[in-house]
Amino acid sequence: ADEYAKPSADGEFAVLLCRALGGNVRYVDAVEPDDPEELTESCIEGPYDCILGDREKCRGTYREFVFYDTENLYAEYILYYTRMY
């Protein structure tokens, strides 16, 4: 995500654009989940394939997807960009 990107010496940023297979998505809109370990377990051992943290709803920023199985992700492109304000 752009929020986590750090600039290179030339002021360029990079982001990895992936294809993702969401499958059975666990939705969370809490600022701080009650039991983060239970969230992880629900994906690794339980019925869910990924977690959607809806920070757009609870903080007005963005929606964040968390995947625990690399087979559900395919890196498609590396995008290099500069920020324009």
pLDDT digits (tens, 9 = 90+) for 24-54: 999 998 888 889 899 999 999 999 999 998 8
Computed over every residue of the chain, the mean pLDDT equals 90
Environment class of 53 (CB within 10 Å of its CB; exposed 0-12, middle 13-18, buried 19+): buried
pLDDT band for 4, please (50, 70, 90 cuts): confident
pLDDT mean over 60-74: 89
